[in-house]
Chains A and B, each alone.
Chain A
């Protein structure tokens, strides 16, 4: 039996730099520090939210975690096994247990394949089922996500955005995964459709005991979906806490600003809204010390010199900030 409190995924000091080539000889002149020393665990059956603004490295992190791209350094252990030491073949087998739901259902479905082809493809690739059994399994999955069997031979363009996202989810279900990485699964959908998909993701988690890594920039949705939340800023995780803790008592100045910046329906922001100066720095040449220090309202001299350590200041509440020692 798997114990719920044990991690399904352990990320240790993970880095991913993308080289920038330049000069006459096209040598590496610099690098994009997309993910720069990230460590955290995901427990069995939980939903871990990963939030941050565009370019903070959250999508790169999700790709490295599934080993869709190779890391520069660091370790990712899935149920105790180091992913980067596995051979292609072993990795392929493991991919049955990990799946990804993409942001844009319009771009992530092959327009020349029918719903049945798309959903059944994992069964063929992994040799899981054939013939009648395959068909049975496809119908089962299609029904699970709220589509009807008569939709089976339709092509993606015949579906609405919400239905396309259901297909994207159905495709991940066929192989009985344990860990699902959802990268902005509802951000391209309309408000009323968004609710349908979010509820579906919650229902499926309840039924199949999925573990989710839920990536988004929308803090309202993350609060609704997640048990714990990690906040990323320019390649680093700056805060990690249980969802309630994080929203009620954010410890990192960036998290605080991020939460106060969300417009709440029916209300106007008062004087206490924190408006950050400037924009997110580029990950090519991140600021020295704490990466948030140029925009931080509480910045002190030490912040520009030393990189703050990611420490547990309360039970389960981690933060990387010099002011919170």
Chain B
């Protein structure tokens, strides 16, 4: 359980646009242990999807991974050639996206698309492939798989299409499943079904999951550990209790108070002033300093590093680092 499956060290993924260099992911460190679920949360544009694409080595032009290491199962993925990566994608690391309908090819049957993944990565005899496809569709809860696998994607509802995507992703028993906003486009009751399915499959398949999302409720359902991202950086990392009961970073705190919740009565929601900075020219020092209510002098000058503040709890904020506490008293 404690063995590390994925370790991302100082990952830098920049986009070289005509307007300038967008530092979408800037020195990000994350770790996922075997059979663990890591939730990566943040608002749009914080770089969470870019982290996922970087791990898959699917960052497209003008984006480029310019630095860091991605250790997966003891090997650095950034040192792999494209041919080697192809063998890993789908077989050892697979990904499901937000919009299942646009991820499935409309002109092939759902079954044939899942069969393709199996044919590519597994040694299964030809006449047994169909049986395997039906088996996996049954596992994700598609009713009457031998019949429904002959359907085209448009004959599926949104929830069923997402089930089919999950089936495809799990068809080769990957070690790591990346789920990028897997329930964002689905209705609440269907979302509950998919989350329940992912919980069950997690037990059956024993895969680690990198769950990406903006909905703190959805993230809470599955994650063992949570990393909060802001403007291309991880600002806080902890388990469920750490993030929700004892959030340390001012951004995490503000984020939690700005969402209307079923279990809390509030008349007014907390507002985070300003807006997410543009990553072409990110603010100096701590990227949150212009919106933070605890800003000190050091925040504008020096970038805070992720520092251990408790067991399995790390935060990147000068309020919680020892050197700045001594020289810069809290207001």
Q: Could you list which residues of chain A lie within 8 angstroms of chain B, going by C-beta atoms?
A: 53-54, 160, 162, 190-196, 198-199, 202, 217, 219-221, 223-225, 247, 257-269, 273, 275-276, 279-280
Contacts and interface: CB of A to CB of B under 8 A. Distances in A.
B124 interface: no
Contacts of A221: 260
B193 A275 contact: yes
Nearest to B244: A266
Contacts of A257: 189
Interface in B259-275: 259-263, 266, 268-272, 275
Interface stretch (B25-33, B114-122, B170-178, B216-224): B216-224
Nearest to A259: B262
A219 B260 CA distance: 9
A266 B221 contact: no
A110 B15 CA distance: 30
A185 to B, nearest CB: 13
A299 B138 CA distance: 26
A193 to B, nearest CB: 7
Contacts of A162: 275
B153 interface: no
A54 B187 contact: yes
Interface string B237-250: 00011011100000
Nearest to A279: B157
10 contacts: A194-B258, A259-B262, A261-B189, A262-B217, A264-B220, A265-B244, A266-B216, A268-B240, A276-B189, A276-B193
A-B interface, 4 closest residue pairs, ranked by CB to CB distance from nearest: A266-B244, A263-B217, A224-B260, A261-B192
Contacts of A279: 157, 159-160, 190
A8 B114 CA distance: 55
Contacts of A199: 268-269, 271
Interface residues of B, number: 44
Contacts of B192: 260-261, 263, 269, 273, 275-276
Given A190-B44, A199-B268, A265 B217 contact: yes
A198 B270 CA distance: 10
B191 interface: yes
A283 to B, nearest CB: 14
Contacts of B214: 190-191
A280 B187 contact: yes
Given A54-B187, A196-B271, A199-B268, A264 B259 contact: no
Nearest to B257: A195
B1 interface: no
Given A192-B255, A263-B220, A265-B216, A219 B262 contact: yes
B188 interface: yes
Contacts of B190: 53, 279
A16 to B, nearest CB: 21
Nearest to A162: B275
Contact of A266 (B245, B268, B269): B245
Given A190-B44, A191-B255, A279-B160, A268 B221 contact: yes
Nearest to B272: A192
Interface in B287-322: none
Nearest to A223: B262
Given A219-B188, A279-B160, A192 B258 contact: yes
A199 to B, nearest CB: 6
B196 interface: yes
Contacts of B159: 279
B217 A264 contact: yes
Contacts of A259: 262
Given A53-B187, A192-B258, A265-B256, A224 B269 contact: yes
A53 B155 CA distance: 20
B215 interface: yes
B275 A220 contact: no
A28 to B, nearest CB: 24
Contacts of B157: 279
Contacts of B259: 191, 194-195, 220, 265
A220 B159 CA distance: 22
A214 to B, nearest CB: 12
Given A199-B269, A223-B262, 16 more contacts: A53-B188, A53-B189, A190-B44, A194-B258, A195-B259, A195-B272, A198-B269, A219-B188, A220-B261, A225-B260, A258-B188, A260-B192, A263-B195, A269-B192, A273-B196, A279-B159
